[in-house]
Amino acid sequence: MIEPSLVPDSQHRGLVSMLPQPFRDFAMLARFDRPIGWWLLFWPCTWGVLLAGGEDQWRLIIWLLIGSIAMRGAGCVLNDIVDADLDRRVARTAQRPVASGRVSKSAAWTWLFMLCAIGLVVLFQLRPQAQLVALGSVGLVAAYPFMKRITWWPQAWLGMVFTWGALVGWIEIRSDHLEALALLYLGSIVWCIGYDTIYAIQDIEDDAIVGIRSSARRLGARVKGGVGAFYALALALWAMAFWTMRPDWVALVALVPMALHLGFQVTTLDPADGENALARFRSNRDAGLVMALACWVVGNAGVI
């Protein structure tokens, strides 16, 4: 039986369960029990900073981490407000705070604005050019909860949203070499499509019943090969980004650990096993760190 304040893929249950009610429900609403989300939002920010040559910008990186935690939480709250009716019909999400009725929609909106206020504080730490880039994601974030209703590829929209930080981090450091930035961002989007397709494997049956669309459902029996293709394309785009910044074979070697990590995910993925898929999805937190180190190597080596 599912505990009323926890969802099946929660992490750090002990910490969350120590919070008194109703704070526990608000923490769950912002997915503080599942830090994987903010890591996946944060890492592209770091990639942009490090590949742009900002290896000494630790204060900026810390602010971006704070912003990632707050804005990922805000995005989850918005998603749960919009999807409350759908969530009630999916086993994995039926016990979420808004769907279950433990948190009212008005209280959820208040919590959403509080999280956005934290994001605003982070925004003011950036230079004007980066502030404008960051604000450019607002429309994408607001539209995301509706994508699963109108397209089979909501993961592509999520990719644009969840990796937008690469643009912000880069523009905070520099405003040139935009071709390298574009390649880094495109590769990050495709990476996100890959890992979120793995995540969507858990919900294929329930999604089919309630009519939710996803890349996992669209790919069907080809889902493993599809994830492999997305990861391969991501690596190719990142390789071009690295080569644009530093046309040297060392730049490409820096991607080998990331290629091995993503290759492991694909070769060991079992689409019939939800726990296996969840573990492969979560491993992208570590993949983000591996990619950050690659960006540091190339960005720290000097640019043209």
pLDDT tops 50 at residue 300: yes
Question: How large is the average pLDDT for residues 149-176?
Answer: 91
Q: What is the mean pLDDT of residues 204-225?
A: 77
With 80 as the cut, is the pLDDT of residue 7 above it? no
Mean pLDDT of 156-180: 95
pLDDT-above-90 percentage for the chain? 60
Cβ–Cβ under 8 Å, residues 231 and 194 = yes
Which pLDDT score is estimated for 34?
Answer: 87
**Of the ranges 13-17, 35-39, 49-53, 123-127, which one carries the lowest mean pLDDT score?**
13-17
From the CB of residue 232, how many other CB atoms can be counted at a distance below 10 Å? 16
Residue 171 buriedness (CB in 10 A; 0-12 / 13-18 / 19+) = buried
Whether the per-residue pLDDT at 246 is higher than 90: the answer is yes
Helix (H) or strand (E) holding 227: helix 223-245
Per-residue model confidence as pLDDT tens digits over 57-98:
999 999 999 999 999 999 899 989 988 887 787 777 788 888
- Looking at residue 52, what is its pLDDT? 96
Phi, psi at 132, each rounded to 5° = -65, -40
* pLDDT tens for each residue of 258-278: 999 999 999 999 998 989 999
Helix (H) or strand (E) holding 71: helix 58-82
pLDDT mean over 226-249: 96
The separation between CA 200 and the C-alpha centre of its own chain, rounded to angstroms, equals 13
According to the model, what pLDDT value does residue 3 have? 43
279: closest CA among 173, 170, 202? Answer: 202
Q: Tell me what pLDDT residue 209 has.
A: 61
Question: Residue 291: what pLDDT?
Answer: 98
Instruction: Check residue 252 and give its pLDDT.
Output: 94
Give the mean pLDDT of 162-189. Answer: 97
pTM: 0.87
Q: Which pLDDT band, with edges at 50, 70 and 90, does 142 fall under?
A: confident
Say what the pLDDT of residue 302 is: 55
CA within 13 Å, CB half, 210: 20
- Residue 14 has what pLDDT? 56
Q: Which of 238, 237, 227 has the alpha carbon at shortest distance from 291?
A: 238
Q: What is the mean pLDDT of the chain?
A: 88
